[in-house]
Structure 1
């Protein structure tokens, strides 16, 4: 058995070590210094290990270290200021806090981290971390790095008092998808917005060439994140400064964006958030200043309407022709071909995003009103009723009319004064009839394959999938159709009995009962048939021989 270092044991007893370490909460280095062994904390640690004195974990030690050393000026966080709300914006977007109240903020912009550290009275070191990967692409089977790994600068500290203050502003652990929006005093709105844009936003500047060959600088403000509620709160604040109103859009999964490229609004926001030469991220501030310096000159602060728009590629006469053709029910593609322009130009006019002085907003197509007459509507109605298995698309081809026209009449959205309302049993292009839907539902419940059901009723498999998932015929199904249990109840009870009362392996139980092992695993874990098993089945495992 090893003996503790003599140098340590000459100066302190085991009880003394325990008292200083666990009661006074001194570190091993501090104990070594007190007993005259400065710089020999490793000997104190070795003595504690041999004597069986339990040591703190790394996490406990870290918390103890930061508790004894506040690391920041707590008074800064207690007072409302322009600097506080700018830093709050950074923390809510690029910062994090753990359940142990450990606060971190990491950015690639060293000057911002250094400014934040100085402003909050940060006393620890600024950590540097390198991302392991940059941006990689594969070319001819070879992986090529197109962007070098970036260096991150991080500040970290633990302070319970600061954490409690920041919690009042929605700064909590695991906030990425659930981040709420804090209450910001009016006089600090601009500073908070600047912090958020420096954290999760971008100021984009890009040139375009007009039909006259002139280069025009465009700009865009963009913010993207996982919390829809936070982004909607930010939109509300920004739109107290600018005149426009823009949407928060979902961009797949749990990601939402808010952006606008109206020059006048960008200038108004820039002037507000950088008033009095406020501090900001250098690379983003430079772009803001570029936009502000250019201002309204050379027609840059234009609205999106009319031939005077320097990026316009069509004349007023062409725009008027496009509007008329859209109203007749022609597709955007055919309108573009007729006028001699692109689909993109026609779509933006149709959606009311350009030429607003001419359209006043979105162009209403009203296909049925412009193309049809009462006699033709009656023909459509008769065709739909006489051919219940034909899709709307087939009927539109048969009658040589736009698909939207047939859908509008059949769905009771147009010409209600002639049809009396919905006349079709179809859901979109579904051709399952009222007399067939009950049988389809029964077959789905009995676990007949979707393809077999589709073949029987001569429809596409997606029609059956839509019914099964409750997307169509929901008034009949009540939502997603619950299928009958695939396995008899007797077999499930037998599996539960084996799991509860034997030491058999799940693989052996599956072979004995004739059910896949994955089903046995899910029953044991309480993921399926919980109403029979009562939930997860805890088993006593026998020792391997």
Structure 2
């Protein structure tokens, strides 16, 4: 290890630690970073939120070098950091399979559970979409999507406990996209953003803004059913449950049958 790589205080062993922030940062690098041989890696993020992400990365890694800026003729200013660290580059390859020229060849790093969630939260921060959209009737719904190689995506959708729609991008060689919408996006987001590390993610704020304010019909129905189930589980009769929850007696009877059949 060259003691001068990245300046004093650089956290060269971050990717070897296998901590939540290590997984998040590796996911971000996998999506939006670039590995330069065996010596360094770079990361570019656009706009004010991108600058905030860059500053978070600098804090995590102890990066003290210059943040450069590139302003295209059209579009937002890109903020770029160059991170010289042979150890980080080696650990990115060893722990996460991240190396040079990965765009069309990157494969799933074999993560599971919370580690996979933190990694994908970082990946989506780099190359994903989280936002609120409208149905043709004007009703808001949550949308989460991201793109990767076909092999990577096949494993990523298996890791996420939600029903997403995966399809090949015919216009792009070896790339696929997965989309989660509505209740499926709520389920995916709840898994992705379960840890405090993932909740520092810039895409988390879009998810949180939606789930704390939106009242989609399926959510209202799920809450009604849950109130009935809890009342029945507490020992209340069918009539008492209907009175306590404000539901029709026939609805309570039908739901109780469904609860029993599960």
Provide the TM-score with structure 1 as the length reference.
Answer: 0.37
Q: CA deviation at 1:166?
A: 0.8
For the 8 Å contact 2:113–2:159, the answer to whether it is kept is no
Matched residue, 1:85: 23
- Whole-angstrom distance in 2 between the partners of 1:276 and 1:177: 30
- Whole-angstrom distance in 1 between the partners of 2:136 and 2:143: 17
Matched, 1:101 2:21: no
- Whole-angstrom distance in 2 between the partners of 1:185 and 1:276: 14
Gaps of 5+ in 1: 1-65, 135-148, 304-545
Matches within 5 A, 1:224-263: 224-225=147-148, 227-238=149-160, 241-242=161-162, 244-254=163-173, 255-261=175-181, 263=182
Q: CA deviation at 1:269?
A: 2.1
Gaps of 5+ in 2: 222-262
Q: CA deviation at 1:301?
A: 4.1
Matched residue, 1:179: 106
Matches within 5 A, 1:118-137: 118-131=59-72, 133-134=73-74
Provide the TM-score with structure 2 as the length reference.
Answer: 0.73
Give a deviation string over 1:292-328, Cα, whole Å, max 9, x none: 1135x3405499xxxxxxxxxxxxxxxxxxxxxxxxx
Matched, 1:299 2:226: no
Q: CA deviation at 1:83?
A: 0.4
Matched residue, 2:142: 219
Matches within 5 A, 1:125-524: 125-131=66-72, 133-134=73-74, 149-168=75-94, 169-210=96-137, 215-225=138-148, 227-238=149-160, 241-242=161-162, 244-254=163-173, 255-261=175-181, 263-278=182-197, 279-282=199-202, 284-294=203-213, 297-301=215-219
- Whole-angstrom distance in 1 between the partners of 2:37 and 2:113: 31
Matched, 1:70 2:11: no
Runs of 4+ aligned structure 1 residues displaced above 3 Å come to 276-281, 300-303
- Whole-angstrom distance in 1 between the partners of 2:21 and 2:92: 14
Shift in alpha-carbon separation, 1:223–1:187, aligned structure 2, 3 A: closer
- Whole-angstrom distance in 2 between the partners of 1:100 and 1:151: 28
Residues matched between the structures, number:
212
Give a deviation string over 1:104-155, Cα, whole Å, max 9, x none: 0111111111011101111212222222x32xxxxxxxxxxxxxx2111111
Shift in alpha-carbon separation, 1:171–1:298, aligned structure 2, 3 A: closer
- Whole-angstrom distance in 2 between the partners of 1:280 and 1:291: 16
Task: Determine which structure has more spread, i.e. the larger CA radius of gyration.
Answer: 1
- Whole-angstrom distance in 1 between the partners of 2:216 and 2:157: 29
For the 8 Å contact 1:107–1:113, the answer to whether it is kept is yes
